Structures are given as C-alpha cells and as structure tokens.
Amino acid sequence: MPSRWLSSLGRFSIETGSKVTVFSPFLDSLATRLMNGKVQSHKTMGTNSAGAEIDTLIEVRGLRKSFTTGLLKRTRVDAVKGVSFKVKRGEIVGFLGPNGSGKTTTLKMLIGLIAPSGGEAFMFGKPAPSLYARRRIGFLPENPYVYPYLTAREFVEMNGRLSGMRGASLRKRAAAVLDKTGVLYAADRQVRRLSKGMLQRAALAAALVAEPEMLVLDEPMSGLDPVGRKEVRDILFAERDAGRTIFFSTHILNDVEAMCDHVTILRQGEVVESGPIRQLLKSDVVRTAITVAGASDVLVAALEEDGYTVQRRPDVVLVEVEGKDAVRSVLAKVIETDAEVVELAPQRTTLEELFMRKAL
C-alpha cells in the first residue's frame, strides 16, 4: 500500500506502520477491512438472505434533508422533501431537475456522505448507507476532486486497492478502464495538468475499475465536449449490456431521452414525475403538423377562422392541429382548393416539454 492515499471523495490519508489513518468515516471503515483482508470483490452479485438475486437495487421512501443556515438568524432550508423512487436491476435511470432541486443532496444521502433528516433508503435490500452496498457501487461525484500530484493511473489504481484489488490484475484493469474512458494516453500525467473533461474521464475510470454492479453518477457528462458525451454514452450502454445498473443525474435532456429506461424528475426537493420514460412521454400523437404548398389567401383565412394555428413560411404554410377529426377537416379543405400537402408529421410529447411543464 503506498504511503500516500487519496480517497475518491478527495480526503487525504496516510499509512503509519500497520495502522491506516483515513480522514473519512466511509474510508475508515473500508480501509480497516482492507488491512484485515476482508473486502470482497464487487463482482459478487447482490442477493437477499435466501440467496435470491435482488431486483430493486435502490428504494427510497419519503427521504428528507434539511439544512440550517445563517449565523445570527438561523433559517431552515428543506433541500429534499419526502422523495420516493426505485431503481430496478439492469435499468439506466435518469435523475432530473433544475439546479437546487435536490438531486446531488439525494445522491449524497444514498452514498453516505451526508445523513438524512428523515425517511428511509435501501440499496441492495439493506438500509443505506451500508458497507455491503458500497462494495457493489461505483460512484462519480459532481465535482471529482483528486489530489493534484497524483497521476490519473495512480488515482484509478488507488480506488482499485480500496476495493480489494491487487497486483497485476489491478494494473491491467486500471489500464483497461483508462483506455475505455479515453485517457490512457495521459495516464501518467499529474491530475493538476488535466483538463476538466480529462479529469471527468479519469474519475469515471475510477468508478469503473472495481467492476461494480451499479454505477451512481452525478452529472457524468459535465465538462465533456460533444464527442466526449457521445463516447460516455457508448460506455454507459456497454456497461448496461454487461449487466450493470446505472443511476445518474444530468441536465442534458437529449442524453436522457436517448439512453434511459426510467426517469425521475425533481422540483424544489420533491418528485413531480417518475416512471418508464416511454410511458411518461406516451406514444400517442398529441398534435399533427401539416405542411401545405400553394395555399391561397382564401384557404389560409378559412383555416384561421376555424381556429387552427397557421404559420406562413417561404413557399409553404404550416398548420398545427389536434385530433384525427381536425386532420381530416384540414386535408379536405386543402384538396378542395387544389393546394398540395407536402408533409403530414405526427408529433409526440418530448422529454423537454415534459421537463419544462413539470420541473419549472
């Protein structure tokens, strides 16, 4: 074990003789078990007392967190207000909400970085936080802090050692995840010399190194350019295909809509929507956009008189209608006037529309 350690939480530790001093309750418990050789591999699948595989990896019931601010005039801030949701095995679950909605606070309570004010949470069937769950998750914080004089390789290998990995297998696995996240070429560069995007990739490699059952990622796309976001999406898909469960928060709605099986939306510390993303967005057509060429002023006036929204564009007009009967009526009027239907485009609810309606 090296003489200098840095936890994934950015806390520094030192080794003196046979005793490890770690300035973090989480790492203190974990490091003690490492010294005693008791840490088990993350590859062990989560099971209940009867040996059956657990289907619900995260279950949160009425979780609350309040903070007290101010020096002279104390004010209580309710950051999380009775949040409840589930994460099933094998899913990619998006955790959405505007800034200040309580996403990061909720993740920190699940991991054990802060204590909840009320409610309960379970991970892998056991009350959270627990060492049992920590052995099975890879965590990426919103703003990963790494001791600046460590190299990316040293940081990733250190996280592997904290998970009980050793020797050649650790070195091989660390190189593999650094390559997977696209920073192997800079693996021996000190972290202080990495860009924000490269640091994010190195921190993701640290979350992957011990082959966890579940990834808990707080803003994993932060600091990445479009190419980097695409590469991280591909990594997460590959991890899901390998059997891992992924629970992540983000503001990038396009990524959520493209990737997630399930979504939970927060607003001001409360869950305002939660469920399978396809069910929330619905497959039903909510409106239809009809593009018409050669529309006369008489046709446009008739459509506007009937209450349809008509937008004049170069060479065409766009008519937005709701309902099948309205589509038939508009098409009949267009045909009567010898105008041409260029396009008939059914439109469905998007995640952006749902988010704007529910979260703001």
Q: Is residue 12 part of a domain?
A: no
C-alpha distances in Å from residue 72, one per residue of 68, 78, 115, 244: 11, 19, 24, 48
What residues does 271 pair with on adjacent strands? 266
Q: Is residue 4 part of a domain?
A: no
Of 17-26, 195-204, 281-290, minimum mean pLDDT range: 17-26
> How confident is residue 53, by pLDDT bands cut at 50, 70 and 90?
confident
Domain that holds residue 345: 287-356
Q: Is residue 291 part of a domain?
A: yes
Q: Is residue 169 part of a domain?
A: no
- Closest listed residue to residue 213, CA positions, set 11, 352, 38, 40: 40
Q: Is residue 293 part of a domain?
A: yes
Taking the alpha carbons at both ends of the chain, their separation in whole angstroms is: 49
pLDDT: is 101 or 23 the higher one? 101
Strand residue runs (E) in the chain: 4-6, 12-16, 19-22, 56-69, 75-88, 92-96, 118-123, 126-127, 137-140, 214-218, 245-249, 262-267, 270-276, 287-293, 309-313, 316-321, 340-347
pLDDT: is 248 or 37 the higher one? 248
pLDDT (0 to 100) of residue 297:
87
How far apart CA 251 and CA 106 sit, in angstroms, is: 16
> What's phi and psi for 20, nearest 5 deg?
-100, 130
Please state the domain count of the chain. 1
pLDDT (average), residues 226-247: 91
CATH number, position 338 = 3.30.70.120
Computed over every residue of the chain, the mean pLDDT equals: 83
pLDDT: is 43 or 59 the higher one? 59
How far apart CA 77 and CA 345 sit, in angstroms, is: 46
Q: Is residue 329 part of a domain?
A: yes
Segment 237-290, tens digit of pLDDT: 999 999 999 999 988 888 888 899 999 999 999 999 999 988 888 755 578 889
Q: Is residue 47 part of a domain?
A: no
Model confidence at 49: pLDDT above 90: no
Q: Is residue 176 part of a domain?
A: no
Model confidence at 229: pLDDT above 80: yes
What residues does 123 pair with on adjacent strands? 58, 126
How far apart CA 293 and CA 85 sit, in angstroms, is: 49
Q: Residue 164: how many CA atoms within 13 Å on its side-chain side?
A: 18
Task: Reduce the DSSP state of residue 324 to 3 states and report it.
Answer: helix
Of 6-10, 125-129, 331-335, minimum mean pLDDT range: 6-10
